[in-house]
Structure 1
Amino acid sequence: MDNKIVYLNGQYLPLCDAKISVMDRGFLFGDGIYEVIPSYSGKLFHFQEHMERLENSLCSIRLANPHDRTQWLEIFTPLLDASLDQSIYLQITRGVADKRDHAFPANITPTVFAMSSTIAPFTELDSGAKAISIDDSRWELCNVKATTLLANILLRQQAVEKGCVEAILVKDGYVTEGAASNIFAVIDGVLITPPKSHEILPGITRDVILELAEHNSIPYSEDIISLDALQTASEIWLTSSTREIIPVVQLDGETIANGKPGPIWFTMNRLFQAYKQSQS
């Protein structure tokens, strides 16, 4: 691990040699954004869509993009192995300032860090996972992929300590998303996910699932989901770039349907895997 090659501010070097200043605003304030891009057989999955989300996040925190899309691709490529399924982690902070001050410093160079990691298959895919519902205590810019993830970490940890894989977040009685995932539910035969807003991260896997549902005549809707409605769902899924589509079979200690991954999940997972292969 320490010897794997990473990218930091224009250089490729072993991870153990990658160092940043303690005055970096990402370290002091969490003043930065990140992006995670899966790669299958060395080809980045929906690269353009991930770049669009990156650009939107940078714009939201008023940080200039240090590279164009062609340059980003050139940076990522040496980190990829065509024989592996991996993910690229990219982090951009506002950079190193002379002093700790909340105000944006002038004439500062962003810190850019990127590394790749092997995507490990989710071990509970066939049996399904457990989740809990928790009040959503995060800030109001959840659509920004910011490095300030303390609230998400604390919420996810509550789930982990209860033997669950995820915390499903609820605001004013309505489901928003998971602590590190988007959420789907099958209710009365319709696949439903909350619409995009400042309350959720615009997931790329989420968008792919909606496209696949449309192209394969699976009834779907982007609509609000109350916690009461979620508790009646015949299927619940959690989606993310590295975990893909996880079926949830237990919510807050209550079994969902027959306690096994549902038929629509099996169909969508098959479609997603085939689509993924077609893109690599």
Structure 2
Amino acid sequence: MSSSVVLQNKVSRIGEILNDASKPLKQRFRALFTLKNIGGEESIACIAECFSDPSVLFKHELAYCLGQMKDERALPILISVLRNQFQEPMVRHEAAEAIGAIGCDSTLAILEEYSSDPTREVAETCYLALKRIKWIRENEQSSTESPYHSVDPTPSAECKTVSQLKSELLNEEEDLFNRYMAMFALRNINSSDSVLALCEGLFCGSDLFRHEVAFVLGQLQNELSIPHLIRALEDLTQNEMVRHECAEALGSIATPECVHVLRQFQADKCRVVSESCDIALDMADYEKSFEFQYANTAALVN
């Protein structure tokens, strides 16, 4: 049997795990990221089948992975999710961000249309996605590659001090695209001062902005951010998007303190948060293990 046929069979089996609502969510997440890494049309089709799942967290992660795959064949399902007013704001936002990550000029009209969506996080995401696509078109020689192997919602700012970037990040009068550029520049600097500057961003700006700060802190895995992430997770006035991202960031840092806090919030009344704690604890287990990779489902199926 050829290697391509073997891989196709594996994708089909991984897709079955992904679509099996009786499986633990953490197992389905690992299947999802395995499909993201494999890529291709069949992986996209398997992921697309899951957007009727009752878990908002899971659906949002489906959209995230489709964007990270940067495959134009995912655009029809992502546009459908963005247009669907019955999908939760967190899911629609992630679909819009994924459309921006894929970065096709053909999606400018749909992003323009929804940049005035009544749901703020959706509108802001569409605005950022629009600006990202236009920026890339106008700055063809500039790299948007992330040192963290992610497709970011905006490029990073260049040639500024931590103090200048912090000022831009926290200035609520500044254009959101510029604040995001400052955010990713601070991430890339990855110093104690830049991490602490980012931590201040957990408590200002819109829900969308704060959730992205938490995501970036998860990428950095710096223990300086732990008390700030815990404070935001414990704050019940924070949007579920923000609290969920704080939980997953704590899971990626994976100290005993992080694990203790995540266990406390596994029974949170907000389903997105409680499920995020489950996923974060699985991530923490991975960080402390000798497993070769988190997205390991391909090695577990025939």
Q: TM exceeds 0.5? A: no
Higher relative contact order (CA closer than 8 Å, sequence separation 6+): 1
Q: Identify, as 1 or 2, the structure richer in helix.
A: 2
Q: TM-score, normalised by structure 2?
A: 0.28
State the structure with more CA Rg: 1
Query: TM-score, normalised on structure 1?
Result: 0.30
